[in-house]
Amino acid sequence: MERVRKGNQNGVAMRSRIWWTICLVGLAWPGVGLAGDCVVEAITRPSKDVVITFVRPGQIAKMPVKIGQRVKVGEVLAELEDSAERIQLAQLKAKADDVTLIRARQASLDQAQVELKMTRDAFKTGAATELEVRRAELQVTMARAELDLAKFQRKVTQLQHKEAQAQLARMKLISPTDGVVEVIMIDAGESVDAQNKGVMRLVNIDPLWVDVPVPLVQARKLWLGELAVVDFGFGQKETREGQVVHIASVADPASETLWVRIEVANPSGRPSGESVRVRFREKTISQAKAIEKNKKPKPDKTTRPPTTGAKEKK
C-alpha cells in the first residue's frame, strides 16, 4: 500500500510542477479561480487508515460489525473465544480474595509469642532452661516469617489476577478511532495467529487529507493553519475550504517540491481517492496573515523602537 501511495505521489508531483509553473507565470485555472490563484492537482486520502489485529492468537468467537458500518473509538469490533481464560481469572480472584492462610499464620505467631512469654517467666523461677527460651524465641521468628510469606503470596496472586484481567481484555478488538469498517479479512470461527496481517481495516474520511507537492519557492510562504480551497471536480462538484496541518521537513530534490498536507471537512461523505485541485489564493493568504498579525501584542506607542542603522538625520 505504501509503494502504491508513493507511486501516486510521484505522478502527482510531476503533474503538479506543470500547474505550479502556470501559477508562477500569473495565469489562472480556466473556469476555476481568480487570476493569481495557485492551483495544484492532488488526490484525497483518509485522515485515518489503519489495519488492526489481535495481539495474541485465538479463535474469533464474535464479529458484531459489518463492512461499511460506522464505528466509534473504543467500540468492540471482535472477540476471541475466552471461556478458559475466564475460568482461570475466577480461580485467581478466589485466591486473591482468600485470607485464610494469613489468619492461620497470624494465629501461629500469636501462639508462639504466648509460649515465649511463659517460657521466659519459667526461666526466671528456674523452671525452664536457657535453651528452652532460645527455642521459643526461634519459634516466634519462624512464625513471623511464615506470616510475611503468606502476605507476599497473596500479593503475588493479586498481581496475577490483574495480569489475567489484562490478558482477557486483549481478547477484545477495540476500535482505536472513529471511522468506517472498510475491509474484514477474517470471519467469526476462524483462527488468528502471528502470521495474520490483520483482522479488519478502518478508515476515517471526515476529515479528508490532501497531500500536495508544493514547489519550494511557494512552500516557504506557507505556514500551519493557512487556508486553502479544495475543488472536487468529478461527479457532484463541490468546493470546500481546508487548512494546512503539516509541512514536510525534507524536500524532494528530483521535483524540487515539498509535501504539504491539507485537512478538509467532508460532511457529504465523498470517497477518498478523488482527484482534486487545491488553490492557495492571494487574498486568502493576505487574510490569514492579517489574522495572524492581530494575534500579536500591539507595541506601546509611548516607547520608541530601537534603531538598528545609522543615526537619524536632524
> 115 and 229 share a domain?
no
CATH of the domain at 59: 2.40.50.100
232 within a domain of the structure (yes/no): yes
Region for 195 from its dihedrals, namely left if φ exceeds 0, alpha if ψ lies in -120 to 50, beta otherwise? alpha
Q: What is the model's pLDDT at position 219?
A: 82
Are residues 210 and 40 in contact, defined by beta-carbon separation less than 8 angstroms?
Answer: no
Q: What is the model's pLDDT at position 37?
A: 54
> 77 and 178 share a domain?
yes
Nearest residue to 260 via CA among 303, 295, 304, 230: 230
Q: Among positive and negative, which fits the CA dihedral 9, 12, 255, 214?
A: negative
301 within a domain of the structure (yes/no): no
> 226 and 283 share a domain?
yes
Q: How many domains does the chain have?
A: 3
**Chain CA centroid to CA 49, Å:** 12
**Which residue range(s) make up the domain with 137?**
83-169
> 283 and 212 share a domain?
yes
39 within a domain of the structure (yes/no): yes
Alpha-carbon gap, residue 27 to 32, rounded angstroms: 12
CATH of the domain at 8: 2.40.30.170
> 152 and 224 share a domain?
no
Taking residue 14's Cβ as centre, other Cβ atoms within 10 Å add up to 13
> 63 and 104 share a domain?
no
> 34 and 8 share a domain?
yes
> 157 and 97 share a domain?
yes
226 within a domain of the structure (yes/no): yes
155 within a domain of the structure (yes/no): yes
Q: What is the model's pLDDT at position 296?
A: 52
Alpha-carbon gap, residue 11 to 6, rounded angstroms: 9
Q: What is the model's pLDDT at position 2?
A: 43
Per-residue pLDDT of the chain (314 residues; tens, 9 = 90+): 444 444 444 544 444 444 444 444 333 333 334 334 567 889 999 999 999 999 889 999 999 999 999 999 999 999 999 999 999 999 999 999 999 999 999 999 999 999 999 999 999 999 999 999 999 999 999 999 999 999 999 999 999 999 999 999 999 999 999 999 999 999 888 998 877 778 999 999 999 999 998 888 888 888 888 889 999 876 568 889 999 999 999 998 898 889 999 999 999 889 999 999 998 765 444 454 555 555 555 554 444 445 444 444 44
Alpha-carbon gap, residue 244 to 280, rounded angstroms: 10
Q: What is the model's pLDDT at position 295?
A: 52
For residue 57, what are the contacts with CB-CB under 8 A and spacing of at least 6? Answer: 191, 192, 193, 194
Q: What is the pTM of this model?
A: 0.65
> 59 and 188 share a domain?
yes
> 94 and 74 share a domain?
no
> 286 and 231 share a domain?
yes
Residues in the chain: 314
Q: Which among 192, 226, 251 is the end of a domain?
A: 192
200 within a domain of the structure (yes/no): no
> 112 and 227 share a domain?
no
303 within a domain of the structure (yes/no): no
Nearest residue to 261 via CA among 48, 42, 51: 42
Query: Using one digit for the tens of pLDDT, what is the confidence trace for 182-218?
Result: 999 998 889 988 777 789 999 999 999 999 988 888 8
305 within a domain of the structure (yes/no): no
Query: Using one digit for the tens of pLDDT, what is the confidence trace for 115-151?
Result: 999 999 999 999 999 999 999 999 999 999 999 999 9
